[in-house]
């Protein structure tokens, strides 16, 4: 199947905005470094509210550290339109429920698809409840995430709940590279694993094996 260029779709949507039109956007963020470029880029065209909803994060200290970094970045980073912040629930059980039976899936596999769905669905519900014009996620910036799958999930939730999905593939146009530059500039904490206990264990194992070599 042909891949869709979701970044091009976003570019088209932005170029069709009327003069002076600044829609509201609920931007799900996985972490401050990934959000950096997305905020820099999107806040030129949208009134962005960052939604930090990541019940997948393990351990608790890591979760609170990532939230703090997210809030610090929003506070320190200058933007054309103001950026707000909402923290979602840290309801870890929701994550363990969807991960049941998928604990040994590799990264990008079915567990991750369900993890995307969990976080995007909650974002869409909040966007609907609060009347945002669009919702989207920073997750498409990561080379480790499948943007086609993320956009398909976002679009299907949007259709189901009646909220507008903002398509994206933030890693295009050097978005990922720019996020590493901003992260360095703001001396941000950059974690070395995706977030859940399974990705944490995988990373620890990898480090241990490489130390042995
Ligand atoms: S590896 Fe990342 S995307 Fe996949 S389930 Fe774990 S936290 Fe979610």
- 78 CA to centre of ligand 1 in angstroms: 30
Domain ranges of the chain: 23-212
**114 CA: nearest ligand 1 atom:** 5
Q: pLDDT at position 211, please? A: 77
Ligand 1 atom nearest residue 139's Cα: 3
CA of 119 to the centre of ligand 1 (A): 11
Extract the residue ranges of the chain whose pLDDT is less than 50: none
Q: What is the CA(50)–ligand 1 centre distance, in A?
A: 20
pLDDT number for residue 95? 98
Can you tell me which atom of ligand 1 is nearest the CA of 56? 7
d(CA 168, CA 27): 11
- Which pTM was predicted? 0.96
Candidates 34, 53, 56: which one to mutate for ligand 1, based on the most atoms within 8 Å of Cβ? 56
| pLDDT at residue number 212 | 57
Which pLDDT belongs to residue 2? 81
In CATH terms, the superfamily for domain 23-212 is: HUPs (3.40.50.620)
Smallest Cα–Cα separation from 154: which of 22, 24, 4, 1?
A: 4
Q: What is the DSSP string of the chain?
A: -PPP-HHHHHHHHHHTSPTT---EEEEE-S-HHHHHHHHHHHTTTSEEEEEE--TT--SHHHHHHHHHHHHHHHHHS--SS--EEEE----HHHHHHHHTT-TTPPTTSHHHHHHHHHHHHHHHHHHHHHT-SEEEEGGGG-TTS-HHHHHHHHHHHHHHHT--B----TTGGGHHHHHHHHHHHTT----SS-SSHHHHHHHHHHHHHHHH-
CA of 16 to the centre of ligand 1 (A): 34
CA distances 138 to 14, 29, 211, 212, Å, are 17, 5, 33, 35
Give the pLDDT confidence of 36-77 residue by residue, as tens digits.
999 999 999 999 999 999 999 999 999 999 999 999 999 999
Give distance in angstroms: CA of 183 to centre of ligand 1. Answer: 21
Say whether the peptide bond before residue 27 is cis (omega within 30 degrees of 0): no
Q: Considering only CA atoms, which residue is closest to atom 3 of ligand 1?
A: 112
pLDDT confidence of residue 1: 67
C-alpha 148 – ligand 1 centre gap (Å): 16
User: Which residue has the CA at smallest separation from atom 6 of ligand 1?
Assistant: 196
């Amino acid at each position: 199947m042909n891949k869709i260029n979701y970044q091009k779709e976003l570019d088209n949507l932005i170029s069709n905005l009327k003069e002076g039109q600044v829609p509201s956007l609920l931007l799900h963020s996985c972490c401050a470094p990934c959000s950096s470029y997305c905020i820099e880029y999107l806040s030129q065209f949208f009134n962005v509210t960052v939604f930090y909803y990541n019940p997948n994060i393990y351990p608790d200290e890591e979760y609170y550290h990532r939230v703090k970094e997210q809030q610090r970045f929003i506070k320190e980073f200058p933007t054309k339109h103001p950026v707000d912040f909402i923290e979602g629930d840290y309801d870890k059980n929701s994550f363990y429920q969807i991960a049941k039976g998928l604990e040994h899936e590799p990264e990008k596999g079915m567990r991750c698809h369900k993890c995307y769905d969990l976080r995007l669905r909650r974002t869409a519900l909040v966007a609907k409840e609060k009347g945002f014009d669009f919702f989207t996620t920073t997750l498409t910036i990561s080379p480790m995430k499948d943007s086609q799958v993320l956009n398909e999930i976002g679009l299907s939730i949007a259709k189901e709940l009646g909220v507008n999905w903002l398509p994206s593939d933030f890693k295009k146009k050097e978005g990922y590279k720019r996020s590493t530059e901003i992260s360095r500039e703001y001396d941000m904490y950059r974690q070395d694993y995706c977030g859940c206990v399974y990705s944490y264990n995988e990373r620890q194992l990898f480090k241990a094996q490489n130390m042995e070599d």
